[in-house]
Amino acid sequence: MNLPLVLSPNTREAVTSAEELQQSTMLTGNNKTISWRIYEHTSEVDSHAWSQLHPVAGAFLCLDYLTALEEAHDEGLEIRLVMFYRGTEPLGIAAFQIAHFATSEDAYSNVFLNCINAIGRCIRGKHVHNILISGNAFATGEHGFSFQSDIDNSTIAFCLHHAMEAIAKQEQKRGRRICAMVTKDFYPETVGVADQLERFRFKKFQVDHNMVMPVLDEWNTFDDYLESLNTKFRTKAKAALKRSSNLRVVEANEADVLQHAEGMQRLYENVYRKADFRLGRLQAKALAELLKRIPNQFFVRQYFLNDELVGFMTAMRCGDVMEAHVIGIDYDSNREHGVYQRILYDYVELAIRLRCTRIVYGRTAAEIKSTVGAFPVNLTCSIKHRRIISNALLSMIINYVKPSEYPQRDPFKAETITKIHTQPLYKNHEWNSTK
C-alpha cells in the first residue's frame, strides 16, 4: 500500500511533540530514525491518519471494530494501538491485544503451550498470565499491522519488537507483568517478518493451516455452487442440508444478539473450550456492538431448534474477502441436526450473495472444511517468553510443534478445479503449491 498521506492538525501536533513519542534508531541500512506513539484507548487515536494507513480490506484494523472490542470487554482483554513515524511521516500502524488469564489452563491448552506454562510455574509459580498479542486473538490471519508498501520486513520486525517491549514496560510499571509475546498469523508471503523477529529472540513455529476457499464469479446462487461439486460431495451436501432443515435461521440484528447474548455466550464457550490454541475469550455483547458500528461489514446468523438457540455464526467482509469470525454450537443438537456443517455451507451462500472472491474459514476442523471446498494455507506464528531462561528452553520445545495432519478432500469437478486454480488463496499465491 503506497498512499499519499495527509496529516490532520492533531497528528502534526502529536508528531512534532518529541516528549510524547518513544524513539529509537535503526542501526542497520540507512540508520533510519523510527518513532512511535502508543495509545491506550481507541478514542485517543487520530482516526484520519489511522484510516489512511489501514488497507480497505483490513476491517479487523478499522477503529470501529477495535472500539467495539474495547467497549465490550470490561476485563480479560485490553487494546493497545501504535502509530509509527519516520520523521513526521506516518510509517505504519499496529494493533495489539493484552489478554489476561486468571488460570494457566485458560491460556495454554495444547502440549506446546502447556510446556511453556510449566516453565513459568517452576520459576515463579501460578499467577495471572498477561499475554501481549500482535494480531487478533479472535480471528485467523494477518490482522495485526499495516505498513507503507516500501517498508521492508526488517523494519517492520524492528517496529513490532520495540513497540511490544515498550508496552510491556508500561504494564510492568503498573505491576502487571507481560509473561509472553505472540505475533500471529503470517502467511507465506510475509513470513519474512517472522524470520526477522528471530533477531529479537522470538521463536517461530507453524500452527494448523488456515483453510481458504475460492468463490468463483460464475456462482450467482448457492445452487450454482452445488452444481460445481462432484456427484459424491454434492450428494453429501444435499444430505447435510436436509439434516439441518428443521433449523430456523435468523439474520440477526443488534437487538437479536442482545436478546440472546447469554445463550450465544454459552454456545461460544462450548467451541472455545475445544480450541487447542486460544488466546482470548470473546464477550457476546461485542457482536452486538459490531453490528451497530459496522453493519455493512459484519454479519450474524442465529440457528434455532424448536425456539431454542443451538448455534450462531459471524462473518466479517474485508473488501472482497469473507472472514469466518467466531461461532457457537450446541454439540448435542449438532449430532442430530448437523448445525456445524450447515454453518459452513451458509458461509458459502453468504459469500456468493455478497460477491466475495474467497472465504477464510480459519484453522480448526480442517478436514470437514475441505469437504466444502477449502484449501490449506501455511500459517506461522512467533512467540517470546520474557524470561531469558524460559525463552531459551523454547528452542528445545519448538521442534515438537507441527500442524495437525488430516486428509484433504477434493469435492469439486475437474473443470471447476481448473477455474479455481486461476484464483489465489491469498495475495501473491501461486497454485504450483497450495500451501
Please give the C-alpha separations between residue 388 and each of 120, 343, 428, in angstroms, as whole numbers: 11, 44, 37
* 432 assigned to some structural domain: no
* 435 assigned to some structural domain: no
* 257 assigned to some structural domain: yes
Does 245 lie in the same domain as 173? no
Does 185 lie in the same domain as 85? yes
pLDDT confidence bin for 128, thresholds 50/70/90: low
The domain of 24 spans 9-210+380-400
3-class DSSP assignment, residue 346: helix
Does 205 lie in the same domain as 110? yes
* 24 assigned to some structural domain: yes
Q: In the chain, pLDDT over 70 holds for what percent of residues?
A: 81
pLDDT confidence bin for 251, thresholds 50/70/90: very high
The count of domains in the chain is 2
Predicted pLDDT at 320: 92
Phi, psi of 46 (to 5 degrees): -70, 105
Convert the pLDDT of each residue in 159-173 to its tens digit.
999 999 999 999 999
Does 285 lie in the same domain as 251? yes
Does 183 lie in the same domain as 77? yes
For 355: left if phi > 0, alpha if psi spans -120 to 50, otherwise beta; the answer is: left
Q: What is the dihedral of CA 418, 422, 424, 428, to 10 degrees?
A: 130
Does 215 lie in the same domain as 203? no
Does 34 lie in the same domain as 59? yes
- pTM for the structure as a whole: 0.86
pLDDT confidence bin for 429, thresholds 50/70/90: confident
Does 236 lie in the same domain as 166? no
* 428 assigned to some structural domain: no
Does 183 lie in the same domain as 148? yes
Convert the pLDDT of each residue in 82-93 to its tens digit.
999 888 888 999
Does 229 lie in the same domain as 98? no
pLDDT confidence bin for 35, thresholds 50/70/90: confident
Does 112 lie in the same domain as 58? yes
Among 311, 291, 308, which Cα is nearest to 299's? 291
- Residue 358: strand pairing partners: 214, 321
> Which of the pair, 431 or 375, is modelled with greater confidence?
375
Does 230 lie in the same domain as 177? no
Contact 159, 83 (CB under 8 A): no
Calpha distance 293→67 (Å, rounded): 9
Calpha distance 108→270 (Å, rounded): 17
All three cell numbers of 323: 472472514
* 254 assigned to some structural domain: yes
